[in-house]
Amino acid sequence: MRCASAELRASLPDRNPPRAAIFGCAGERLIEAERAFFKASGPLGFILFSRNCSDPAQVVRLATDLRHAVGRADAPILIDQEGGRVARLGPPHWPAYPPPRRIAALGGDRAAAAAFSVARLIAHDLAQLGLSIDCFPLLDLSFAGSDPVIGDRAWSGDAATVSRLSRAACDGLLEGQILPVIKHIPGHGRATVDSHRRLPRVTASRAELEQSDFSPFRALRDMPWAMTAHVVYEAVDPDLPATLSPRVIGEVIRGSIGFAGVLISDDLSMGALSGGFAARAAAALAAGCDLVLHCNGNMDEMIEVAKATPRLSAAALRRLADAEAGRPSPTPFDRAAAEARLRELLAGAS
């Protein structure tokens, strides 16, 4: 593992404003090489995974250390806390929440109330740890024959249901002062391979995509953050996945969907992307992403990403400021009452 060096620091532009990157770290505490690298590269923020989280006191220390490394007490710290099988925080220290599909099965207003309740409780969990952004909810639709990587992480195959329950979940997170990241824009649901391993290709027509896959993202285009899909939509750009496609980002995400918030790439280390890490980062930013995401904590890979990642653009800074301006003021929260309400809502679920 290489450490941050004078050569690396000299190869990077000024650290103010922050680098247009979100990085992971390897374990439950920072090692000196990571501390030096984060200080030298100055990423906007960080993302945590299960490997980084053992108990509440440890997560609080790690979040504090990460922010200290970049010299910004407000550096955003993200996590994927969806409920079900994608939960970086779990028992015994944190509750196990049901997957979105189980919540949707409640139907109607009950499902919407449960989606809100789960998200509000998750927001409380994250806020207690000093985390600020949740990569949740998924707005991807469920399709027969698609790869199970989405599976019960999707609320439903019905765009209206996905829009309604995603809105409720976003409202719950925001009430708890946690910014949601809607994903995977403009839709991962039709993918027949797992983008963690290979590049999915979607052959549906543009009209089909506009009416179904893109619809929930259009309904929630006012959300503060969104994460791209490493998926090729042949009807829009037959060559490049959304993350790397100026056409998909410009014509679809910023265009027909109308999303105006912070756009972050999905993880650059996923198998759907090819080429070196510097090239991946440069291509994502050139395509229109505001931020690139690198999750696995591999130092060599992060160094390459940092070398190709400039400071945040003026447009990205405006979007980040708008996102933060939308973070509500704190409101009283009765945890015990919220847990009791969720139990009541889930009592009739199969």
Q: What is the pLDDT of residues 211-234, one digit of tens each?
A: 999 999 999 999 999 999 999 999
Which band of pLDDT confidence, cut at 50, 70 and 90, is reported for residue 16? confident
The residue with tokens 């979940």 is 169
**CATH classification of the domain holding 215:** 3.20.20.300
Q: Do 36 and 109 fall within a single domain?
A: no
Q: Do 230 and 199 meet the contact criterion of CB atoms below 8 Å apart?
A: yes
φ and ψ at residue 231, rounded to 5 degrees: -135, 135
What pLDDT was estimated at residue 349?
Answer: 52
Query: How many domains in the chain?
Result: 2
Catalytic residue numbers, as ranges: 196, 266
Which band of pLDDT confidence, cut at 50, 70 and 90, is reported for residue 348? low
Q: Do 214 and 346 fall within a single domain?
A: yes
Distances (CA, A) of 211 to 2, 187, 216, 217, 304: 48, 12, 9, 11, 39
The single-letter code of the amino acid at 239 is D
Residue 9 has pLDDT above 60, yes or no: no
Q: Do 248 and 206 fall within a single domain?
A: yes
Q: Do 253 and 185 meet the contact criterion of CB atoms below 8 Å apart?
A: yes
Q: Do 206 and 102 fall within a single domain?
A: yes
Output the CA torsion 264→266→268→274 (10° steps): -120
| 126-147 residue pLDDT tens | 999 999 999 999 999 999 999 9
Q: Do 58 and 193 fall within a single domain?
A: no
Residue 13 has pLDDT above 50, yes or no: no
Question: Domain for residue 293, yes or no?
Answer: no
51 three-state secondary structure: helix
Percent of the chain with pLDDT strictly greater than 90? 93
Residue 215, C-beta contacts closer than 8 angstroms, at least 6 positions apart: 159, 160, 163
Q: Which domain holds residue 337?
A: 78-259+327-350
Question: Domain for residue 306, yes or no?
Answer: no
Q: To the nearest whole number, what is the mean pLDDT of the chain?
A: 94
- Angle at the Cα of 135 from the Cα atoms of 133 and 137, rounded to 5 degrees: 120
312 three-state secondary structure: coil
Nearest to 290 by CA among 251, 326, 269, 259: 259
* Buried/exposed code over 176-197 (b: 16+ C-beta within 10 A; e: otherwise): bbbbbbbbbbbbbbbbebbbee
Q: Do 186 and 216 fall within a single domain?
A: yes
Detail the DSSP E strand segments found in the chain: 19-23, 43-48, 77-79, 81-83, 86-87, 133-134, 179-185, 201-202, 225-228, 232-233, 262-267, 291-294
Q: Do 84 and 218 fall within a single domain?
A: yes
- Regarding beta strands 43-48 and 19-23, do their DSSP bridges make them parallel or antiparallel, or are they unpaired? parallel
Region 96-106 average pLDDT: 97
